[in-house]
Structure 1
């Protein structure tokens, strides 16, 4: 078939719930309404996140009599590498997969991609910051495509009260790669008869975005992280609730301005808001009290605002550790009004619709004991009848509907234990670890600043709750145990950093254990060598004295 008689091919890579099938149906309806033979197929993929699917559309760009079997075109069921005119990706990783499979070619393919991210399971379950850097994806796509149109089409759709498929259809129309006018695209949306007004608004925004992209030679906005700020530092403090009018927060801000250097005020401002929200203003003041000894090390006013100083790093990690996740915090976050609003927005519920939220809770005996007053919690943890009874009662977990009165009051009761958190077993244990960690940071600050900085950063191992927290604390204590051996190595800061990265590499801790074994063997050999050397020197001294 000659090039002018070749079918037009469109591959759509989308995830479940994003309307990939609707987008494909719009294109097919558009082609058939103009008299062009068209077909669409879908190939479900592995459920990497919410189930990825490739929708493939082909249509013959000339009207053909369906009874003319001689000239009836043969249309493909699947996209072939190097033979696709348009690739539409609903998310950045899906775009990367299309490029990797060879569906995008520089001599033919117009690539339309949304730059937002829906993180994969490997990114979400990573013990450290497992997010993939989006920049290489974008750079590779720029070189692979003939034309590259990119923007956060999910946000565009959300701003216009629609779904991403409508915004992507608008980008397709604005790219002008198909033989249809804007009015014909809009007519296809109207014929579908579902969510017409909002879809047309998102469509119009997509058209303008694509046209702007062509005017700027593809210079559309960079990737937007919808599940977290792009380029955010692992463990960075998120913006806290606005509490500027709160007199307690005002007092904390004044104390920060009067007692701490300017370069760390942003971190401290976020931290005290977070901790006041977590517990109370007095708790936030105690946070500042814990940091004051470091002023003797990093008290200068002329540090750059983005400098990773011991004071700034300790301040960041201390705020994260002091706002540890316990059953009280989890319950409190699950019943906040902002969460109910966010869930309704995410599922796009209408005002008249009822939304039920089921929470799957599985508290262990340890977590229940941690919530109780310290003495009572230790008693519950002792093997015995009560311990076994609670363990049996919580072995299967339970489902709590927080949108019901009973479920809400149940979690409200747990959240109200915030008033006695300072007397709880978990509070005592966490703050004992925090104080010991701060003592180590301050102890090494004068003799090995770089090592003290890495000790401050080692807090990132301790996070989450339940099994995640127990595993992180176990690895952290392993590192604390070998810290004297680490300090005796040639490059202690680099060694501790490597061990922390190993602890975050796998849940089983195999990589960390292997490195710790090697460290302990080397340290033992070094200690023996030093002892032998000292012994020989002592023998020589005694022999010389005797002579």
Structure 2
């Protein structure tokens, strides 16, 4: 026999509780924003409770901050500790994918939820680990949010805050005030910021920007196109660079833009003589191409020859890590002020191959051919190292390594890269007379090779597999299509499962 319990009446005072959730990852000021909201509500005579449920770790899991508030009465309210699906009045998401997670978890409902989100992206680990383009489609998230929310405010709150010298929590707080979802005047929001006593002026400017974005509706920041990079330096070197540009101006117009970008990359990697050798290779491809094909072969070659020539070795990594603009960018991202000390730790994990590749070509080849010597190098250098580049010893060590450009061309690594580059070009151009499209797709396979150390080794293995697959389909009318499929499969997952499946399919009919 089933017991029947009478339905309990709902206390009408429960409907007066406003339920607000903030979803943010580490470093976005979710705790600061929650503190402002709590202080605001208490100052306006509300009873408030704020809790938080931490994610896995900074940048890998969002923390959910939850606030419940209601006007004070003689009775003490009982608040919940965490949000429930279908029972959230206001949802603030500090990043576009957090908007999507909020919708997926049912926190956003069309009958009641005001959704305030930032349209910028802070890439998740799962997006970064994909060998190709693993960035999730933000437009799909936007479309879902438009359906799920009763009121939707989306703007690049990060850029709005950074433009005012502040952080995203301030612009989100301004958007909360601007959307009129809480029964408090704007001045009360601003007082909450002032009472915090930290970076008040910058926070108020960002608050104003967020408020205006909410008042004006969808106000995504429009980014202006990047201005061309200005080349500066001694006049004799600038004249040499101009001579290289003159060679590019003699190329077909369709090729010039890509060749200019490639030249800049190669010269930055090494020097002007290295840039001249890059143009020699590109001109060699142009001589075998034609305008009837739209110079597609030459454009593709100009891009990937530059990538192949500007490979990532220890010298390159050290050079990039000690450049002034990089330190300036990191300070700006961290919000560090000129009078504040910023500590920066770099992580290195070189393999024995990287150390042997730094040796002179013949000596490096000799070492690589002796397993005992490679094992010794691996024991000596293979352990992960953390270097504080804000300290003089670590910085000087990397700075000296980064300055070895003139020595680079004598190293074992350079000899390997040049040999691989020449073999790759010969292999790609071999079927040119019979299958132009196949040559283009084989050139594009160079994008599989990137990074250094283990990342480079994994990419090289996939590259070899795809090129071998191209050999199996050579002569078929759809050979170019199959090579494109193999390349895209190789970019789908780090383990190469999709590529293995695609190769098995080819073996079944080749």
1:521–1:18: structure 2 CA closer, same or farther, 3 Å change rule?
closer
- What CA distance in whole angstroms lies between the structure 2 residues aligned with 1:299 and 1:471? 35
Contact 1:272 1:284 in 2 (8 A): yes
Structure 1 counterpart SS, 2:403 = helix
Contact 2:95 2:122 in 1 (8 A): yes
1:355-366 aligned within 5 A: 355-366=342-353
Residue number in structure 2 paired with 1:352: 339
Shift of 1:55: 0.8
Shift of 1:389: 3.0
- What CA distance in whole angstroms lies between the structure 1 residues aligned with 2:395 and 2:53? 42
- What CA distance in whole angstroms lies between the structure 1 residues aligned with 2:14 and 2:54? 31
Residue number in structure 2 paired with 1:450: 437
- What CA distance in whole angstroms lies between the structure 1 residues aligned with 2:346 and 2:227? 26
Structure 2 counterpart SS, 1:27 = helix
Shift of 1:50: 4.5
Contact 2:50 2:66 in 1 (8 A): yes
Contact 2:470 2:482 in 1 (8 A): no
Residue number in structure 1 paired with 2:220: 221
1:35–1:452: structure 2 CA closer, same or farther, 3 Å change rule?
same
Q: Within the alignment, does 1:104 sit opposite 2:108 as a pair?
A: yes
Give structure 2 stretches of 5+ with no counterpart: 1-10
- What CA distance in whole angstroms lies between the structure 2 residues aligned with 1:397 and 1:84? 46
Greater CA drift, 514-523 or 344-353: 514-523
Residue number in structure 2 paired with 1:331: 318
Contact 1:374 1:423 in 2 (8 A): yes
1:30-69 aligned within 5 A: 30-47=40-57, 49-60=59-70, 62-64=71-73, 68-69=74-75
Greater CA drift, 239-248 or 362-371: 239-248
Contact 2:21 2:88 in 1 (8 A): yes
Equivalent position to 1:513, from 495, 500, 509: 500
Deviations 1:11-54 (A, max 9, x none): 11011121111111211211111111121111112337254111
Shift of 1:330: 0.4
- What CA distance in whole angstroms lies between the structure 2 residues aligned with 1:367 and 1:241? 32
Q: Within the alignment, does 1:243 sit opposite 2:231 as a pair?
A: yes
Contact 1:243 1:249 in 2 (8 A): no
Deviations 1:369-427 (A, max 9, x none): 11222101111212265444322211323332222222122112222221122222111
Q: Within the alignment, does 1:469 sit opposite 2:446 as a pair?
A: no
Give structure 1 stretches of 5+ with no counterpart: 230-237, 524-547
Q: Within the alignment, does 1:145 sit opposite 2:136 as a pair?
A: no
Equivalent position to 2:202, from 194, 198, 203: 198
Shift of 1:316: 1.3
How many residues align? The count is: 495
TM-score, scaled to structure 2: 0.91
Q: CA RMSD in A?
A: 2.4
1:316-465 aligned within 5 A: 316-383=303-370, 386-465=373-452
1:514–1:83: structure 2 CA closer, same or farther, 3 Å change rule?
closer
Contact 1:240 1:274 in 2 (8 A): no
Contact 2:116 2:175 in 1 (8 A): yes
Equivalent position to 2:486, from 495, 499, 509: 499
1:133-282 aligned within 5 A: 133-213=137-217, 218=218, 220-221=219-220, 242-243=230-231, 246-258=238-250, 260-282=251-273
Higher alpha-carbon Rg: 1
Residue number in structure 2 paired with 1:315: 302
- What CA distance in whole angstroms lies between the structure 2 residues aligned with 1:197 and 1:477? 57
Shift of 1:264: 2.6
